[in-house]
């Protein structure tokens, strides 16, 4: 059995998965506290991870009906993410593994999002193109084998989820704004306004910073009363621009790679318009359940099945990393 | 015979020790060179492994794990405490949290009052004033003026130790404190003191295996929280 930990952002996560990719427990403790700050505060996130992590591990083991004695491998996110937050999970994983002389599998967080697709019961077989979009990352990955991925493109500035949150804030919605913006967009006309899709960004990279600025200018132009009256149209058009930008690159990636399978991941994969329109691309589309799209430790345990684990004591000096190097 | 494994990561140093009653103590330290990052994440568990091997014991033979809970570097404290809790959770050993300032004071060979001072950055120090290892002032974050005030008010000749004492040497000495030379080992937090204090029942908290009750003594709220409540 694999015990997996994930603390790269503001969710304190522990999971137990088995060698076949079956999830025996998947505990996610969301900190919530950051909403009042309008974003994740690293120091506060780190403090909460330390408060929660041991209880979350215990909870995962209990839900899996097991104890540490049943664990054969400890897996943990090493990066990318908030260093102080990552270190709480990494030291906990190293310490648990060291105390029991177990091997440890350090996992890249983005590989984890890809590996959410390898979990039972709906495992997707490589090769496939994976679009990962969340508040922290936006990228396209080419997955030829389960042990890794090739980075095809990534955002040059804001993440897609960040674009949702910033747009929502401009429209007066509370943080995190993605789901609220989507609800507002349901009653609006997505073609009422033409927001930029970063079409000048070449290849398979993304850019969302201009979109937020465009919304800001549009709100200025319209004035407060008109902006309020056209709120649903603004939300719908803004969401349309994000989804268009994401899917245009995904479609290009499918075309260039000649692969006809697309997997979605990350918190933005919960967006209804993204899911629906992805199915219109003509590819076979896989979307893991919502709790496996957002940050979780089951996906880290899943990835750990395909990376080489380090035996005791090789991993004792492992450090966390804030940003990854994916050779692109 | 009691065997205690203890460590401290409140300052830039990483200190690990095994103390066995009636036997020799083994302590290992990592001090980052000038410009080098602290080795907390990369050295702590390696030093634990090394110290246990030097003592020829397994983690299971340890009666108690002890960790310095600060105050000090926020990230350093979290690394030390997360590691200590995980070792306790994984081995089923009980865990104690010991004040890093108390350990600093305990390491100073001085009969009179001792002020333990840890550099808190931003022109402040985390400090406490001890008489026979009983805290008379603090621990808390203090500005140099406050440090000086407590030095002047102390009964008898006062010794100030710690990286914060070096940082604020001028202010402390002007107020009448004695500050040992820069290379004096009493400025470093010793892990053997963490072990000894835990064995003597002077831990701030002793939790069951897993050590959920052992948390950092931050002595300072996160900046974002302070800004928000202003
Ligand atoms: Zn993520």
Kindly state the average pLDDT of the residues A4-12: 96
Q: Test B75 with A51 for CB contact under 8 angstroms.
A: no
Query: Given this model, what pLDDT does residue A202 score?
Result: 81
Most A CBs within 10 Å, among B69, B86, B217, to test the A interface: B86
Query: Given this model, what pLDDT does residue B77 score?
Result: 98
Pairing of strands A73-79, A104-108: parallel
Burial state string for A245-260 with b = 16 or more CB within 10 A and e = fewer than 16: bbbebbbbbbeebebe
Report which DSSP code applies to A77.
E
Cα angle A181-A187-A190, degrees, rounded to a multiple of 5: 75
- Residue B228: pLDDT band (50, 70, 90) is confident
In 3D space, the residue among B228, B97, B178 whose CA is nearest the CA of residue A33 turns out to be B228
Nearest to A96 among B43, B74, B90 (CB): B90
- Taking CA atoms, A318 is separated from A29, A92, A253, B97, B198, in Å, by 25, 12, 34, 25, 29
Whether residue A129 contacts residue A136, with contact meaning beta carbons closer than 8 Å, is answered with no
Query: What pLDDT, in 10s, does the model give residues A108-136?
Result: 999 999 999 999 998 999 999 999 999 99
% of chain A residues with pLDDT over 90? 87
- Gap between the Cα atoms of B172 and B152, Å rounded: 9
- Gap between the Cα atoms of B180 and B169, Å rounded: 9
- Gap between the Cα atoms of A284 and A232, Å rounded: 31
At a CB cut-off of 8 Å and minimum separation 6, what does B75 contact?
A46, A83, A84, A87, B40
User: CA nearest A71 in B: which residue?
Assistant: B90
- Gap between the Cα atoms of A198 and B59, Å rounded: 57
A222 touches chain B (CB under 8 A): no
Tokens of A89: 């999970």
Distance, CA of B40 to chain centre: 13
Query: Given this model, what pLDDT does residue A90 score?
Result: 98
Residues of A in contact with B79 (CB under 8 A): 87, 91
A154 touches chain B (CB under 8 A): no
- Residue B202: pLDDT band (50, 70, 90) is confident
Report which DSSP code applies to A73.
E
> What average pLDDT does the structure give for chain A?
94
> What stretch of H or E contains A148?
none
Residue with tokens 């209880």: A55
Residue with tokens 């400025």: B187
In 3D space, the residue among B2, B82, B93 whose CA is nearest the CA of residue B45 turns out to be B82
Q: Is it the case that residue B44 has pLDDT exceeding 80?
A: yes
A317 touches chain B (CB under 8 A): yes
A322 touches chain B (CB under 8 A): no
Q: Is it the case that residue A53 has pLDDT exceeding 90?
A: yes
Most A CBs within 10 Å, among B90, B94, B225, to test the A interface: B90
Query: Given this model, what pLDDT does residue B160 score?
Result: 98
Q: Is it the case that residue A23 has pLDDT exceeding 90?
A: yes
Residues of A in contact with B75 (CB under 8 A): 46, 83-84, 87
Residues of A in contact with B81 (CB under 8 A): 50
Query: Given this model, what pLDDT does residue A287 score?
Result: 92
Q: Test A95 with B45 for CB contact under 8 angstroms.
A: yes
Residues of A in contact with B82 (CB under 8 A): 50, 53, 87-88, 91-92, 95
Q: Is it the case that residue B230 has pLDDT exceeding 70?
A: no
HEC profile for A254-285? HHHHCCCEEEEECHHHHCHHHHHHHHHHCCEE
- Residue A34: pLDDT band (50, 70, 90) is low
For residue B129, give how far its alpha carbon lies from the nearest alpha carbon of chain A (Å): 27
Cα angle A36-A42-A46, degrees, rounded to a multiple of 5: 105
Query: Given this model, what pLDDT does residue B210 score?
Result: 59
Residues with CB under 5 A from ligand 1 (ion): A 134, 295
Nearest to A98 among B75, B85, B87 (CB): B87
% of chain B residues with pLDDT over 70? 97
- Taking CA atoms, A197 is separated from A163, A191, A208, B98, in Å, by 12, 13, 8, 56
A103 touches chain B (CB under 8 A): no
Cα angle A135-A138-A142, degrees, rounded to a multiple of 5: 145
A246 touches chain B (CB under 8 A): no
A232 touches chain B (CB under 8 A): no
Q: Out of A23-27, A202-206, A237-241, B3-7, which region has the weakest mean confidence (pLDDT)?
A: A202-206
Tokens of B93: 């050993």
- Gap between the Cα atoms of A206 and A157, Å rounded: 8
At a CB cut-off of 8 Å and minimum separation 6, what does B172 contact?
B115, B117, B147, B148, B151, B160, B165, B179
- β-bridge partners, B19: B4
CB pairs under 8 A between A and B: 113
Distance, CA of A99 to chain centre: 31
- Gap between the Cα atoms of A210 and A193, Å rounded: 15
> What are the backbone dihedrals phi and psi of residue B204, each rounded to the nearest 5 degrees, phi first?
-70, -40
A101 touches chain B (CB under 8 A): no
Kindly state the average pLDDT of the residues B141-152: 96
Q: CB-based burial of residue B11 (10 Å sphere; 0-12 exposed, 13-18 middle, 19+ buried)?
A: buried
- Residue B212: pLDDT band (50, 70, 90) is low
Q: Is it the case that residue A184 has pLDDT exceeding 90?
A: yes
**DSSP track, B118-159:** EE-STT-EEEEEEETTEEEEEEEEE-HHHHHHHHHTSSS--E
Peptide bond into A323 cis (omega under 30): no
Q: Test B84 with A95 for CB contact under 8 angstroms.
A: yes
Q: Is it the case that residue B45 has pLDDT exceeding 90?
A: yes
């Amino acid at each position: 059995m694999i015990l997996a930990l994930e603390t790269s952002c503001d969710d304190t996560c522990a999971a137990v998965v088995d060698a076949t990719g079956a999830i025996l427990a998947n505990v996610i403790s969301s900190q919530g506290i950051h909403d009042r700050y309008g974003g994740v505060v690293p120091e506060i996130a780190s403090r909460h991870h330390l408060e929660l992590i041991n209880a979350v591990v215990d909870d995962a083991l209990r839900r899996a009906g097991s104890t540490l004695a049943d664990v054969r491998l400890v897996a943990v996110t090493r990066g990318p993410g908030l260093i102080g937050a990552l270190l709480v999970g990494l030291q906990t994983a190293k310490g648990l593994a060291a105390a029991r002389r177990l091997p440890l599998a350090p996992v890249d967080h983005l590989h984890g999002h890809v590996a959410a697709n390898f979990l039972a019961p709906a495992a997707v077989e490589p090769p496939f193109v994976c679009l990962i979009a969340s508040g922290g990352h936006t990228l396209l990955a080419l997955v030829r084998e389960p042990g890794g991925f090739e980075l095809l493109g990534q955002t040059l500035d804001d993440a897609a989820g960040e674009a949702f949150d910033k747009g929502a804030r401009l429209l007066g919605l509370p943080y995190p704004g993605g789901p609220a913006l989507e609800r507002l967009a349901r009653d609006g006309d997505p073609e009422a306004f033409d927001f930029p899709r970063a079409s000048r960004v070449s290849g398979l990279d993304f850019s969302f910073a201009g979109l937020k600025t465009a919304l800001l200018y549009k709100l200025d132009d319209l004035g407060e009363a008109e902006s309020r009256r056209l709120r649903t149209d603004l939300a719908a058009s803004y969401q349309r621009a994000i989804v268009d930008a994401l899917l245009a690159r995904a479609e290009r990636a499918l075309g260039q790679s000649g692969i006809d399978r697309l997997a979605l991941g990350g918190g933005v994969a919960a967006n209804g318009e993204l899911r629906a329109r992805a199915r219109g691309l003509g590819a076979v589309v896989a979307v893991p359940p919502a709790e496996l799209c957002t940050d979780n430790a089951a996906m880290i345990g899943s990835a750990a099945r395909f990376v080489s684990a380090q035996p005791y004591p090789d991993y004792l000096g492992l450090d966390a990393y804030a940003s990854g190097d994916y050779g692109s | 015979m009691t065997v205690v494994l203890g460590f401290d990561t409140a300052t830039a140093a990483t200190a690990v020790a095994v103390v066995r009653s009636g036997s020799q103590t083994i302590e290992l330290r990592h001090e980052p060179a000038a410009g080098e990052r602290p080795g907390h994440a990369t050295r702590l568990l390696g030093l634990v492994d090394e110290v246990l091997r030097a003592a020829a014991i397994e983690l299971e033979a340890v009666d108690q794990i002890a960790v310095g809970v600060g105050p000090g570097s926020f990230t350093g404290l979290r690394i030390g405490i997360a590691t200590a809790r995980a070792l306790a959770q994984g081995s089923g050993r009980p865990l104690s949290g010991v004040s890093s300032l108390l350990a600093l004071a305990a390491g100073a060979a001085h009969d009179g009052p001792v002020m333990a001072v840890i550099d808190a950055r931003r022109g402040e120090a985390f400090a406490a004033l001890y008489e026979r290892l009983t805290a008379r002032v603090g621990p808390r974050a203090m500005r140099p003026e406050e440090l000086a005030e407590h030095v002047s008010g102390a009964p008898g000749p006062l010794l100030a130790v710690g990286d914060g004492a070096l940082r604020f040497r001028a202010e402390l000495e002007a107020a009448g404190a004695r500050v040992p030379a820069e290379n004096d080992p009493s400025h470093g937090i010793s892990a053997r003191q963490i072990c000894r204090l835990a064995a003597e029942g002077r831990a701030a908290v002793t939790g069951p295996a897993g050590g959920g009750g052992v948390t950092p003594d931050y002595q300072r709220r996160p900046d974002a929280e302070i800004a928000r409540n202003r």
